[in-house]
Chain A
Amino acid sequence: MRSSIILLLAMFVISGCRELVQDEFDAFGPFPVLNGVLYADSIIKVQVSLSQELNAEQLPLVDNALVVITEDSLVWDTLSYVDGRYISSMVAKSSHHYWIEATVPSVGAVNSHCFVPALPRYMGTTHIDEAGVDEESLAYPGVDVQFATSQNKEEYFELAVQMCRNDPYFATIHSFTDPVLLFEGDFGFMEPSEVVFSNQIINDSNYTMRLHYGSHSNSIDAHGVPYMILYPLKIVLRSVSKDYYLYQKSRYMYEICVYPMFNFTAQSTFDLYSNVNNGYGIFAGASSFVSDTIFPSNYSNN
């Protein structure tokens, strides 16, 4: 499909051309940019940088900001700058609120708030060695992940499949058929390494989500038939704050839009979500559950 569209559009390009319009742009900022995700039971780390105009040199990281974090209006800490990040002595706790303020000398101050949700209630996973076959006749695996949700409040989750190899990595998710994921929106041609979703259309206290994944490793059997090599894996299920959820969705959209399907098609625009007042960036919270290792019935140890 994609190839054919490229071919069609290439026809237009034969008689068209590309031309430089502008290489000088108006000044912009600088404005403080604060980025940080607080994971329950992990050290609090954030990054502070400055926004610049389009044609500025490398964006500057800020190493002299005063960054103060407050937990539930009771405990506070001033973060220290270490190797490009501001690190707190505090550990983020689930079900707690955090307020942060970063003051960049001669530029300004930004602030934000986040909530670190409680751990998700993971209930189990069933692995499916052949959950479907893709358009190139390659069978792909899937997992049915069961977890509990609340009927009375909004909840947000993130789900990923981590491949257990010497150097662990997240599998790509594709061929979406799960109604909750379809409701969240189409990922276009993206194959993300994690999916975020809410419980908005889940009407039961338990839900089983189907994910199809790719291990990034294919081979050909003795009959010349291609197949996907399966590896042991772990399920990573996170409860995430609403800001985290909105930010991740905006990040998908941003990346789909900014990379047009072809270099000569228009870039759509989608702003990254930000909950940082007076500046840009994201300050959000998450609690992660990592399952025990799951072994597909026919997996490779290599």
Chain B
Amino acid sequence: MIRIFLSFTFICAVSQILAQQTISGYVFDKESSERLIGAYVKSGTNNVVATDNNGFFSLKADTDALVEVSFVGYNTLQINVQGRHDTLLNVYLKPGHVLEEVIVVGKRNEKHDRVTMNAQQLRAVPLIGAKSDVLKALEVIPGIEMQQEASSLLSVRGGEPGQNLYLLDGVPIIHVHHLGGFFSVFNPDIINSIDVYKGAFPAKFGGKLSSIIDISQREGDKHKLKGSLSVGLTDISGTIEGPAFFKNSSFIFTARKTLIDGLMALSNVGSEDNSFIYMYGFHDINGKFSWRMNPKHSFYFSLYQGDDYLRYWSKKAQADQLKSKMKTVWGNWFASARWIYSNASSLTGNQTLSYMSYRLMDKQTVTFYGGSQNETLKNEVLSTVGDLSFRSAWKYQPVSWFTLGFGGQLSYYRHHPNQVTRSIESNSISTDLIHSYETSLYVDGNWQLGSRLSGTAGFRASEYFNGKYHYFSPEPRLQVGYQLLENMELNVGYMYASQFSHLIITDGNVMSNEIWIPANRNIKPSNVNQLSFGANTTLFNNMFNVGATVYEKQMRNLVNAPEGYSTVIGDPTFDSKILSGGTGSSRGVEFYLRKQLGDFTGSMAYSYTYAQRKHSEMNNGKPYVPDFDRPHNANVNVQYKLTDKFSLSANFTIKSGAPYTPVIGRQYYIDPNGDGALQEAFIYGERNSARMKAYHRLDLGMVYERINKRGNRTEWTFSVYNVYNRQNPSLYYYATNGSEEGSLDDFHQGNYLDKELYQVSFFTIIPAFSYKVYFDGHNFRNREGKGDRNMLQYFNDWMQYEH
């Protein structure tokens, strides 16, 4: 009887499967052929999938299925797919503004631990310099805290800034900000979408504890050559894209460069008071080549290079005896090659080979002109990280309710944290090059059981090697969703993750106080356990999206620089001094409300985080608040489309002040080698036991678009940062009231002067504007009177024109 029952069940199941077809493929923008990430593909009432980071989807449907494809800002497309064979589709959506049609009932991808932001949302947040910034835009997401002005250090759910993995087209980036955090390195002109994971990381991600920030670059237009040029107060940037040499191939190239460096140098040249010329600047260069060889195979090649540089050199008038120059450069570059394979039977693969290099270099040269002979002395400080990685990620959907993901990663890391080279060899400090390796395998299953229960269960196993030291990390991951009501889903997420390299932030020289060091026998890998629960729903016919999350995470083997340790640079024994073995915990709640339809859209977010750290050698072994803790954090962001040409936006942020360690008293202390005179010293309270004033500010932005006389689309962006000129504290310090500079010299010599606590504020009200002009293909076509051509043809035309 049991056999009969099993046989019957098996036949029914097989019949059901055989009566279905697999529909898979890509969703593209019809005009540019850009892959659309996060587009919804629906068959029937509840069979909904979203396109992944490659614009790929796969779903099981009946043999005669009506498939509906939709995406925000595009007209919905309905396709009738008939037949018993698996189908591979390329779906092209036409840009449109029929917003009511783009929301799919019963969205399944709204998870409490993951947030997706597209380029349109990124541009809606007004920012300094009237230009968008990827990391600053993340401030609108609950649980993500920007530390302070002039900083893009992110603390996610009470974690540390060094615990976030930044991926640009799947390649890890180490250095993510310019000008100390004023801008991020991600040029918004080439950004397609941003996926942020705050917990329950998919098993394919690992190596960091707090968040994964996965940024996709867009592809170039496959039909026409076009570009844009943008000029703002801070920088100039340009984009060019178009069809490349092969059919279905394209390129995109963007570059961004500051304007302030030249101005700074010029102002110094003209200044008689200054004997040096100095300048600061940064640039970013991004390039991407895409080739969709056929529906099954796509190839990509990406390049990025970005640097910050600070230079000074003595003027010629000063060079009669001594001439010095200094160059500090820091930044990273990468090159990556990717192959994406997909077939109609639901198998897709993504293979990426990449090399990333980060370096912080400080180079000083002093030339002494000593009459008959010149002498040149050189001093170079270097801290580097290299990452050569191969990542393989596969997905297979054998049945409609289950998708299997599997793959692996093989990485070779090359750390040289703290090399000092001087022209006088005896003064050089040689430190070892550190080679380490990380291998990982993962598997995960994405399932949909019935109409209500769905989720992903995964497992990642990583093995880390550094010399004779090795560490195995088994990392379970789980995400379960339950459809409680038609538009309401409950989620639970769990993850365990390990981190094998640590960001050490020391108290000293601000130009060399952020150093990455690999885990080793003394500085163990860090780990995290995180559990989260969330609920989200849509209201008023999808007008609003509301969600809440609670989470708790426990961290082990956290790493700190000892209090007062000024720099790792040049210290060959740093690993004996770095404090490891710290523990940390954070728990909190997050709420958000988004209005996603209509001319008036926006979001509200609030998060509360309770975080603590503990280390036997810090704060006398007592728990303390982490340096980056801001418990309350709220943000309101609104956009209003006034007309087709005008749009307005506003962003209000309020959060708790940063913690600081207060002075509670004074005492005399002695210098054993001094003359016996007593000096005064501060007595400090517990570490980070006081808090600065709350931080809040309002930013406004306006975008005006028009077509100029030559037929080019132009965009004026006006923004006002910190509209009501709030003096937000960036730092507190104690000083005497005896001098404007607040020198403490008198205090330490025992001379009585009133002591006071001061704050320093950066970035008060900053109005700014930028101008952007788009050059699209019709200008070129009009001139030549020809249709779509690739880059080679444009080049040939140009050569003929020039001759």
Contact = CB atoms under 8 A, between A and B. Distances in A.
Interface of A: 1, 3-5, 7-9, 11-13, 15-23, 25-26, 28-29, 31, 33, 35-37, 47, 49, 51-59, 61, 85, 131-133, 135-137, 160, 170, 175, 177, 179, 182-183, 185-188, 193-194, 201, 223-225, 244, 247-248, 251-254, 256-261, 263-272, 280-282, 284, 286
Question: Which 10 A-B residue pairings sit nearest by Cβ, starting from the closest?
Answer: A253-B564, A28-B665, A137-B368, A266-B731, A16-B762, A188-B566, A270-B564, A22-B757, A268-B507, A269-B661
B762 A258 contact: no
B310 A12 contact: no
21 contacts: A4-B310, A13-B760, A16-B730, A16-B761, A25-B664, A56-B666, A59-B666, A59-B750, A185-B577, A186-B570, A187-B566, A224-B321, A225-B368, A253-B564, A254-B564, A256-B507, A257-B564, A261-B509, A261-B510, A264-B760, A272-B667
Given A256-B566, A269-B661, A270-B564, A18 B667 contact: no
Interface in B348-370: 362, 364, 366, 368, 370
B673 A281 contact: no
Contacts of B731: 264-266
Contact of B665 (A54, A132, A183, A188): A54
A104 B178 CA distance: 56
A61 to B, nearest CB: 8
Given A21-B732, A28-B665, A282 B755 contact: no
Interface string B408-431: 000000000000000010110100
A199 B556 CA distance: 32
B671 interface: yes
Nearest to A12: B762
A266 B733 contact: yes
Nearest to B576: A183
Interface residues of B, number: 93
A47 B677 CA distance: 10
B429 A177 contact: yes
B678 A47 contact: yes
B678 A35 contact: yes
Contact of A254 (B278, B681, B761, B764): B681
A225 B370 contact: yes
A123 to B, nearest CB: 22
A52 B676 CA distance: 21
Nearest to A17: B761
A179 B737 CA distance: 42
Contacts of A5: 509-511
Given A16-B730, A170-B673, A177-B427, A49 B667 contact: yes
A135 B324 contact: yes
A128 B496 CA distance: 57
Given A16-B764, A132-B424, A37 B670 contact: yes
A283 to B, nearest CB: 11
Contacts of A268: 507, 563-564
B766 A8 contact: no
Nearest to B372: A223
Interface in B772-788: none
Contacts of B509: 1, 5, 188, 261
Contacts of A51: 665-667, 683
Contacts of B669: 35, 251, 272, 281-282
Nearest to A11: B280
A187 B666 CA distance: 24
A21 B762 contact: no
Given A25-B755, A59-B750, A185-B571, 5 more contacts: A13-B762, A33-B667, A49-B668, A133-B424, A256-B507
Contacts of A57: 752
B735 interface: yes
A137 B672 CA distance: 33
Interface in B329-365: 362, 364
A21 B681 contact: no
A270 B663 CA distance: 11
B564 A256 contact: yes
A21 B662 CA distance: 12
B470 interface: no
A9 B507 contact: no
A3 B276 CA distance: 10
B370 A182 contact: no
A49 B752 CA distance: 16
Given A19-B761, A135-B377, A259 B510 contact: no
Given A177-B426, A177-B427, A23 B756 contact: yes
A28 B741 CA distance: 27
A67 to B, nearest CB: 15
A49 B570 contact: no
Interface string B101-139: 000000000000000000000000000000000000000
Nearest to A257: B564
B371 interface: yes
A42 to B, nearest CB: 12
B624 to A, nearest CB: 11
A202 B567 CA distance: 23
B727 A19 contact: yes
B148 to A, nearest CB: 10
B697 to A, nearest CB: 14
B360 to A, nearest CB: 13
Interface string B649-664: 0000000000011011
Given A133-B424, A182-B429, A270-B564, A15 B665 contact: no
A280 to B, nearest CB: 5
Contact of A201 (B322, B573, B761): B573
